[in-house]
């Protein structure tokens, strides 16, 4: 992906629906902003985010609708978010869904960077501007409203986030958020959506863990291909695939990436990392992704992380988190 902020064109498909329902010629308005309506049906097509921002502003003005992003979410399907949408729809716990969302968000846009913050009582999804781009408030609202819509359909229709923070203070915009999210938004430096920790650990109805795992493997491959410029990301994704067969050696990684061991050590050093630190970082990412997954035993988790036996995994886990895996799960369920 280039350094220019871009997003998948399918992201705009619900906007075309909203425009048509309000008697506006969607094709003409899209074309005025350099976007082909046909591209919104092509899963591989991408558009310049500067063009999408102009289109969203024009649509918001023509419709006189400060809740445009919410109305787009009401017409959104999982496919509008490409492979990421399919990964989210496969379900699991809400926390697992959020982790996949943050992990694979780069596959649909490089204009915004997402961050997942897990606290004792809450889980926060935060949206950061990326590449110097200031995201359109209706675009961020669309993503946040789509997430809440997924939660209400697949967990509980009465479920609301604990808090919503926005960095856009137009009165009509804030009022629309209050109505849809059923919580008074706060104005700050970030766009945040906050869920209670207990809600985040709830399972989505009709979850398909095997399908989710298959889609996630595919998205890992796509992310590795897209992130060719980042050796650390490529290594982490490769390590994830190797760990179930046992802990991979530095020499194996060097051979896989066609460089000498010394060159790979030097490249990692440029990122202030050692091979051991990268292994640990990757394993902790996997732990946090899978430890709360229903049916996932400590033995299975140890295998997934490439440990030779459960006791070795338990020792590492206690070093990372200060408690044994079973105690960690017990504390989380008590929260």
- Residue owning tokens 């787009």: 72
Distance CA 64, CA 260 (A): 60
> Is pLDDT of 132 > 70?
yes
What confidence category does residue 229 fall into, taking pLDDT thresholds of 50, 70 and 90?
low
Largest separation between any pair of C-alpha atoms in the chain: 65
Mean pLDDT of 223-243: 77
Query: Is 214 a member of any domain?
Result: no
The verdict on 75 and 26 lying in the same domain is: yes
The verdict on 301 and 173 lying in the same domain is: no
Q: What percent of the chain has pLDDT over 70?
A: 90
What pLDDT shows up at residue 213? Answer: 72
Residues 302 and 310 sit within 8 Å (Cβ to Cβ):
yes
What pLDDT shows up at residue 79? Answer: 65
Task: Report helix angle 49-63 to 13-21, nearest 10.
Answer: 20
The verdict on 279 and 183 lying in the same domain is: no
The verdict on 164 and 246 lying in the same domain is: no
- Residue owning tokens 């995994």: 313
Query: Is 220 a member of any domain?
Result: no
Mean pLDDT of 266-279: 90
Distance CA 86, CA 77 (A): 10
Enter the tokens of residue 102. Answer: 């943050």
Of the three residues 200, 219, 239, the one that is the final residue of a domain is 200
Residues 96 and 215 sit within 8 Å (Cβ to Cβ):
no
pLDDT in tens, 157-170: 999 999 999 999 99
pLDDT in tens, 27-73: 999 999 999 999 998 877 889 999 999 999 999 999 999 999 999 99
pLDDT in tens, 288-309: 777 766 677 888 889 889 998 8
Enter the tokens of residue 73. Answer: 């979410």
The verdict on 31 and 158 lying in the same domain is: yes
Mean pLDDT of 69-91: 78
> Is pLDDT of 331 > 80?
no
Please give the tally of structural domains in the chain. 2
Query: Is 212 a member of any domain?
Result: no
Higher pLDDT, 219 or 54: 54
Helix (H) or strand (E) holding 40: none
Computed over every residue of the chain, the mean pLDDT equals 87
Query: Is 192 a member of any domain?
Result: yes
Distance CA 308, CA 243 (A): 10
Helix ranges (DSSP H) in the chain: 13-21, 26-32, 49-63, 68-74, 82-89, 94-104, 137-154, 171-181, 197-200, 209-226, 231-242, 250-256, 261-270, 275-290, 298-304, 310-321, 325-334
Query: Is 58 a member of any domain?
Result: yes
Q: How many CB atoms neighbour CB 266 within 10 A?
A: 11
Contacts of 132 (CB under 8 A, 6+ apart): 5
What confidence category does residue 226 fall into, taking pLDDT thresholds of 50, 70 and 90?
low
The verdict on 246 and 282 lying in the same domain is: yes
What pLDDT shows up at residue 332? Answer: 47
Query: Is 205 a member of any domain?
Result: no
User: Hey, which of 81-90, 100-109, 157-166, 278-287 has the most confident mean pLDDT?
Assistant: 157-166
Higher pLDDT, 266 or 87: 266
The verdict on 118 and 263 lying in the same domain is: no
Q: What is the CATH number of the domain that holds 262?
A: 1.10.10.60
Query: Is 191 a member of any domain?
Result: yes
Least confident of 85-89, 103-107, 322-326: 85-89
Q: How many CB atoms neighbour CB 106 within 10 A?
A: 19
Distance CA 303, CA 297 (A): 10
Q: What is the CATH number of the domain that holds 65?
A: 3.90.1520
Mean pLDDT of 212-218: 72
- Identify the domain containing residue 271 by its residue range: 227-334
Least confident of 81-85, 224-228, 279-283: 224-228
Query: Is 206 a member of any domain?
Result: no
The verdict on 162 and 26 lying in the same domain is: yes
Q: What is the chain's Cα-based Rg?
A: 21
Higher pLDDT, 24 or 109: 24
**91 φ/ψ angles, rounded to the nearest 5 degrees:** 85, -145
Q: Taking the complete model, does pTM exceed 0.75, yes or no?
A: no
User: Hey, which of 53-57, 271-275, 285-289 has the most confident mean pLDDT?
Assistant: 53-57
The verdict on 144 and 247 lying in the same domain is: no
The verdict on 241 and 319 lying in the same domain is: yes
The verdict on 323 and 193 lying in the same domain is: no
> Is pLDDT of 335 > 70?
no
Residues 180 and 148 sit within 8 Å (Cβ to Cβ):
yes
The verdict on 324 and 247 lying in the same domain is: yes
């Amino acid at each position: 992906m280039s350094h220019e902020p871009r997003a998948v064109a399918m992201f705009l498909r619900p906007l075309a629906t909203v425009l048509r329902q309000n008697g506006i010629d969607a094709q003409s308005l899209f074309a005025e902003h350099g976007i082909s309506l046909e591209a919104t049906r092509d899963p591989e097509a991408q558009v310049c985010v500067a063009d999408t921002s102009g289109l969203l502003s024009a649509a918001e003005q023509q419709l006189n609708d400060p809740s445009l992003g919410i109305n787009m979410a009401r017409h959104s399907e999982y496919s509008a978010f490409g492979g990421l949408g399919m990964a989210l729809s496969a379900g699991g716990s809400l926390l697992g869904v959020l982790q996949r969302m943050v992990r694979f968000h780069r596959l649909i846009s490089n204009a915004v960077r997402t961050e997942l913050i897990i606290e004792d009582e809450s889980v926060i999804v935060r949206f950061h501007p990326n590449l110097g781009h200031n995201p359109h408030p209706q675009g961020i609202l669309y993503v946040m409203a789509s997430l809440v819509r997924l939660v209400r359909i697949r967990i509980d229709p009465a479920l609301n986030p604990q808090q919503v923070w926005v960095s856009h203070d137009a009165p009509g915009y804030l009022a629309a958020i209050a109505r849809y999210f059923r919580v008074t938004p706060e104005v700050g430096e970030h766009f945040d959506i906050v869920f209670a920790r207990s809600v985040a650990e709830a399972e989505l109805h009709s979850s398909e863990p095997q399908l989710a795992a298959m889609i996630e493997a595919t998205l890992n491959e796509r992310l590795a291909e897209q992130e060719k410029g980042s050796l650390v990301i490529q290594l982490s994704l490769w390590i994830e695939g190797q760990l179930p067969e046992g802990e991979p050696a530095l020499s194996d990684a060097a051979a896989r990436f066609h460089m000498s061991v010394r060159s790979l050590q030097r490249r990692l050093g440029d990122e202030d990392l050692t091979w051991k630190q990268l292994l640990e970082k990757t394993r902790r990412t996997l732990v946090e992704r899978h430890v709360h997954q229903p049916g996932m035993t400590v033995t299975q988790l140890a295998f997934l992380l490439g440990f030779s036996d459960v006791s070795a995994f338990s020792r590492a886990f206690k070093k990372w988190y200060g408690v044994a895996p079973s105690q960690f799960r017990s504390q989380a369920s008590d929260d």
